[in-house]
Amino acid sequence: MNKVEKQERCALFLDRDGTLIQEVDHCHRPEDVVLIEGAAKALKKAKADGYSIVIVTNQSGIGRGYFGEEEFQQVQEEIQRQLGGLIDATYMAPDLPWSPSARRKPAPGMLLEAASQLGIDLKSSFMIGDRKSDIDAGKAAGCRTILVLTGYGRENQEAGADFVAQDIREAIELALTSQYKSC
């Protein structure tokens, strides 16, 4: 046995639509990307504090045939451009809501994949999102959860999140000052 323990990282798992960027129904055009106010500055601070920034996003618009993976990638590139490259990784589930899926939130598959591929300690990490499915996925993965009131957040206040924040800026502030952070 190797006695040197692998250093694991903390992550902020971010839902994309309604959490990181303004909710647009099935956003698939770079020109529709509008960051939630304060997101860039807060994420920069989180990154400097040692967090990995990972997007976990359901994109059933792909499964439904509304748009393709290429358009999804163009939107991701625009987000990275506006954030100055702060996103470390993106996990996307194109699955349809009515098909069984281990990846589409509320299932925790994307978070578990990220943890194994990036060496993330889930119990020291946060899932931030605007829907109950984000909170359920975060809980199932063993993360702390923060519901934001942007996007569909106001309709999901009973989601049972550990914390509720006005927006991503406040959510990140909570995570950075949290007693649960240990990496």
Q: Which is nearer to Mg ion, 124 or 129 (CB)?
A: 129
Q: Which is nearer to Mg ion, 17 or 78 (CB)?
A: 17
- Under the criterion CB under 5 A, does residue 136 sit at the interface with Mg ion? no
Query: Is the peptide bond prior to 106 cis by the omega test (within 30 degrees of 0)?
Result: yes
Q: Which is nearer to Mg ion, 105 or 144 (CB)?
A: 105
Question: In Å, what is the CA distance from 111 to each residue of 103, 114, 115, 177?
Answer: 8, 5, 6, 22
- Under the criterion CB under 5 A, does residue 15 sit at the interface with Mg ion? yes
Which residues are CB-neighbours of 61 under 8 A, at least 6 positions away? 26, 28, 67
Q: How far is the CB of 150 from Mg ion (least distance, A)?
A: 9
53, 59, 99, 93: which is closest to 75 by C-alpha? 59
The stretch near Mg ion (CB under 5 A) out of 18-26, 71-79, 83-91, 162-170 is: 18-26
- Under the criterion CB under 5 A, does residue 95 sit at the interface with Mg ion? no
Q: Would you call 15 a catalytic residue per the annotation?
A: yes
- Measured distance CA(71)–CA(146) in Å, rounded: 29
The site for Mg ion (CB under 5 A) is made up of 15, 17-18, 130, 151
**Residues assigned a catalytic role:** 15, 17
